[in-house]
Structure 1
């Protein structure tokens, strides 16, 4: 489905985000029905009613995962929770003694190692014994935007 909204009076060089803000702010402007979302390109800022893909992610990947997992939920907040969960799992997996069972999609860790990690990241407490069915999709969506310690170098002062 394709939707086109025309707002006359703007120059060609006007940023899409500015035009969208103007269209939403007008009394008889663009309205987004509650519970619906428009898919926009990554040039738009995050805002309620509009979903923009993460850099380097195909839009259909995110939409398919969202449609499969949420019915009537706020999709922007769902994406935020997914991103936070993915970040926590990624940090956990970078540590010794913590793994991910790819069959069950569950964290594998001893009680002692887990208790030690939860002291560092309290959010991790909610992740034990849960299956992360969308972990591989999250890796495709969020993985490229994640900073890792890989290839990091120390700064040497002389």
Structure 2
């Protein structure tokens, strides 16, 4: 359950504009839309669920992820006008742009987030000048709150498992293989419920390498 993270502005000019247009709307007007904090909460939770279910690819998400997110938003908000394209795609692109800028900032020695719970960048003027020289997108980000940053790491960060996380993945994989072998052995009549299952992998054939 994500805390009250969504009452804050999450990017540069993300507030959007009215859905009522006079005359012909340009491309930027069509993609801009005001999001409520609850909509952002559901979108972020849905993205994290996609990551947990293996939809994360090396350079983004697998094809079809926008349809999954549009469906999730429709379930949460039956009357919503949010579509995968352009609304959800535009919001995710804006979040990722802000995330990349924030990641660059916190890699500078002495730069981080304030310790008073405001989720704002903590740095001196010289450090901010350095940031601005490196990243034009950082303009206007200094005095904004970024409470989604930790959740964004999970969604946009590198998806290669390392250390204990990799061990957990391998343990889960081995358990899945073992359970599949047990099921196959039962189906073929090699074991029954009273049989010791510890040697099933060798009886049914070891699938690991």
TM-score computed with the length of structure 2 as normaliser: 0.37
Higher relative contact order, chain-length normalized (CA < 8 Å, sep 6+): 2
Higher helix share: 2
Bigger-Rg structure (1/2): 2
TM-score computed with the length of structure 1 as normaliser: 0.48
